[in-house]
A and B are shown apart, each in its own frame.
Chain A
Amino acid sequence: MASTIRVRAISNGEVTEVQALIQHPMDTGLVKDAKGDLIPAHFIQQLTFEHNGRTVFLADWGPAVARDPYVKFSFKGAAKGDDLKIAWVDNTGATDTMMAKIQ
């Protein structure tokens, strides 16, 4: 399966700007489907970004984060060509991980 994570990390020499887009339903557990049955809650709880084994950004999310979540942040201390590791875990225990190259 293709990765659920799409990341663009661009360094200007000092600061690396990271944008991530993740495919995930982010179901709140409060919405009913066409038949009137509740769609169970299914959302990402934690998303981490690691550079050289150090966490540079950690997101704790509830179901109020929009479907197919997007997040943007910036950090210092990385160079072009470095690896950035991105991983998420949702409330059902499902996970996905990917490595991105900083451009």
Chain B
Amino acid sequence: MTTDDSLPLSRRLVLKGAGAVALIGLCNLALLPMPAIAAANDKYPENAFKQKSDADAIKALYGRTAEASDKVKLDAPEIAENGSVVPVSVTTTLASVTSISFFVSENPNALAASYVIPEGTLPHVANRLKMAKTCNVIAIVESEGKLFSATKEVKVTVGGCGG
């Protein structure tokens, strides 16, 4: 008799437990959508963002060097009055672009932003960067596994690191 009683009880407990675990799982999914997305796609390139020079950052991000190309068009102002908001954009006629990155050579860490361009997305990105002082802005376009770059010097009147 005792076994008859305890068996359904333990089954119920097990089912309850399974339900609770499922609920917790659902909550996690609902509350934390980003890490799941990030893990499924591209990992945040922590190491590349820590590099000081543009050359090291490019190497850490792509593991290769880039060659200058007139097919990469970098649009940035000649003079930025305010280094804390510098509008920078890039567009290219290169085919099969998979990523576009922006580097500011004299910033404490050169890599500013890196964008993954999946198929169907046009190789054209505009954003706004901070610049510590007058220096080169470098745009890198990854196309068919090769790196192409464009560089432009931006004169900064007031640096973007003031406080």
Which of A32, A58, A76, A77 makes the CB contact (< 8 A) with B163?
A32
In the bound complex, what is the Cα–Cα distance between A69 and B141 (angstroms)? 21
**What separation, in Å, do the CA atoms of A31 and B162 have in the docked complex?**
7
- Interface pair A15/B122, CB less than 8 Å apart: yes
Give the interface size bracket for B toward A: 35 or more
Known A15-B122, A46-B44; judge A66-B130 contact (CB<8 A). Answer: yes
B92 close to chain A: CB less than 8 A: no
- Report B-chain residues with C-beta under 8 Å of the C-beta of A45: 44
| Residue ranges of B at the interface with A (Cβ–Cβ < 8 Å) | 32-35, 37-38, 41-42, 44-45, 49, 84-86, 89, 104, 107-109, 111-118, 120-122, 124-131, 160-163
- Contact indicator B125/A73 (Cβ below 8 Å): yes
Known pairs A50-B37, A66-B129, A72-B89; A60 contacts B121 (CB<8 A)? no
In the complex, the 7 A-B pairs of residues with the closest C-beta atoms, listed nearest first: A31-B163, A64-B112, A58-B116, A89-B34, A66-B128, A72-B126, A75-B121
